[in-house]
Structure formats: C-alpha cells, structure tokens
Amino acid sequence: MNLSGKVALITGASQGIGAACAAAFGRRGASLSLVARSEEKLRAVGGPEALITPGDLCDAEVRRRVVEATLERFGAIDVLVNNAGVGLYSDVSAAPMAEVTRMWELNVMVPLELIQLVAPAMIERRSGAVVNVGSIAGKVTLPWISLYSASKYALGSLTDGLRLELRDKGVHAIAICPGYVRTNFRENALAGRLPASLERSSKFQISAEECAEAIANAVERGKRTVVIPRVGWIMIGLARMFPWLVDWQLARMYRRVKLEE
C-alpha cells in the first residue's frame, strides 16, 4: 500500500511508538487521526493538520467517536494501528485482578472493538490494513510479565484469524512483535516494574522510531508478521524447536528477578 494520500488512525499516539508512527506515516504523506488521553501531547505530535481525539480508549464512547470523526473528516480509514497498550509486572498467582482486567481491556478488547468499527468501511471499499502492535513476549512467554505475554498472545491470534477472514475482501492484518522498545512503557505499567538487571542486559533494544519505521514498511509491503529486531526470530525459533532449553534459561532469569525484589 502506498501511504501517500491514505488515512491512518493511530491509537496511543501521544508518545512512544504511537507518536513515532504518526511521524513515520506523516512523512509518507498519510493523513493522521490520533487518539490518546493527553490532548496537549497529541497536538504536539500531530500538528495542525492531524485530527485529534483526546480520551480514554477504555471508554466505548471514545472508541465510537474517534472512528466516526475520522470518517467524517477524511471519508475513509485506510490503516488502523492498534498501538495503545499497557504492561503489568506481577506473578500470575498474585496479580491484582482489577489491574489484570484493565490490561486485558486495553490490550485486547479495545483493539477488537476498533477493528469491528472500522472493518465494514474497509470491506466495502475492498481496501485497508489493520496493524496490531504486539510483542516478542506474545510469541515467547516471559515469566516476569506472564499476564502481559498472555494478552499479546491473544492479540496475535486475533490478528492471524482476522487475516484469514478478510484475505478475500481486500483487507490485510499485520502483527508487529517488537522486543524491548525504549519508551515510557515500563514506567506506565499498572503494577510492578521491569527488574533493573533485565533492563540493562536486554539484547532486543530498539528505539520507538525504529519500530515505527518497521510498522510503516510492513503496511507498504503487505507483510504478515514483523519481529523487530530480527534477532528475535532466533528466540522464537528456539522456543518452538527446543522449548525445554528456553524454559530452563527463562527460569534462571526469573529466579534472578525474584532475588532482586
């Protein structure tokens, strides 16, 4: 898809990957519809030409409003980038359920409803792309963030199913699986925090800008699944071929994490 003249709706666009996506898509000539909680940050990111919708995406009215406003302003939504999400660093057996519910709502249910809101117009035009920003943790479960991993596994499966359902209707679905992205994600987690030793030693670090470029390129080239950095495919491959070995290594890392607490 040539992004020049296309319309991109980007969630979680006030900072991090979402803000970087706004810049990457804007450079390619796309019109932008941006949604996040902070109106001030959205205006700084989008500039005067972007459509800004401030609000909490966990509010159904905000979801409906951003889609309707985008269609009213631009007449179409060519690309939906489901980027908004949140983390939770907690053991499965002790995680606070209110925060777990909030995370699943934002990481899975919000993208699902936005897809349902934009899909009819895409199907009617027989053109469109849905980009779901997941994680390498949605391919290999990381025990210090197991419930977040589970939510991203769910989002990845949803993406694969959507791609199969819509492949003959002109609409494509893309899964983006970044590793450690240098953003405020960890500081904004609903509970807990990434252990310092893991943050320092991460071999999968990328910038938000690198991630956004990979997303824009994936839309342009019609890719299926993007793992960034590409070295992440090695970890995914090892987990599939030698799960016992990956379990052993992750258990070692988890024990070290618990000793830091």
Residue 18 lies in a domain: yes
- What H or E segment, with its residue span, contains residue 157? helix 146-166
- pLDDT (tens digit, 9 = 90+) per residue, 140-174? 999 989 999 999 999 999 999 999 999 999 999 99
For residues 35 and 61, is the Cβ–Cβ distance under 8 A? Answer: no
Residue 258 lies in a domain: no
Average pLDDT for 27-31: 97
Max CA separation in the chain (angstroms):
55
How many residues are there in the chain?
A: 261
The pLDDT > 70 percentage for the chain reads 95
What is the token pair recorded at 189?
């987690």
Residue 63 lies in a domain: yes
- CB-count burial class (<10 Å; 0-12, 13-18, 19+) for 191: middle
pLDDT class of 196 with cuts at 50, 70, 90: low
- CA 191 – CA 27 distance, rounded (Å): 36
For residues 33 and 54, is the Cβ–Cβ distance under 8 A? Answer: no
**Residue 54 is part of a domain; what is its CATH number?**
3.40.50.720
- CA 2 – CA 29 distance, rounded (Å): 9
For residues 117 and 160, is the Cβ–Cβ distance under 8 A? Answer: no
Q: Which domain holds residue 50?
A: 7-234
Model pTM?
Answer: 0.93
For residues 118 and 217, is the Cβ–Cβ distance under 8 A? Answer: no
Average pLDDT for 239-250: 94
- CA 175 – CA 164 distance, rounded (Å): 13
What is the token pair recorded at 191?
């509970």
Residue 61 lies in a domain: yes
Neighbouring residues of 156: CB distance < 8 A, sequence distance ≥ 6: 132, 134, 138, 139, 175, 177
Report the Cα–Cα distance between both ends of the chain, in Å, rounded.
Answer: 47
Residue 124 lies in a domain: yes
Residue 251 lies in a domain: no
Residue 196 lies in a domain: yes
Provide the number of structural domains found in the chain.
1
The pLDDT > 90 percentage for the chain reads 84
Average pLDDT for 172-200: 80
Orientation of helix 243-260 relative to helix 232-241, angle to 10°: 120
Tell me the residue type at 154.
Answer: A
What is the token pair recorded at 110?
């919000």
Q: Checking DSSP bridges between strand 171-178 and strand 225-228, what pairing results, if any?
A: parallel
Bridge-partner residues for 202, per DSSP? none
pLDDT at 255 over 80: yes
Report the catalytic residues: 148
pLDDT of residue 204: 67
- Residue ranges in 51-145 assigned as alpha helix (H): 60-74, 97-104, 110-125
Residue 261 lies in a domain: no
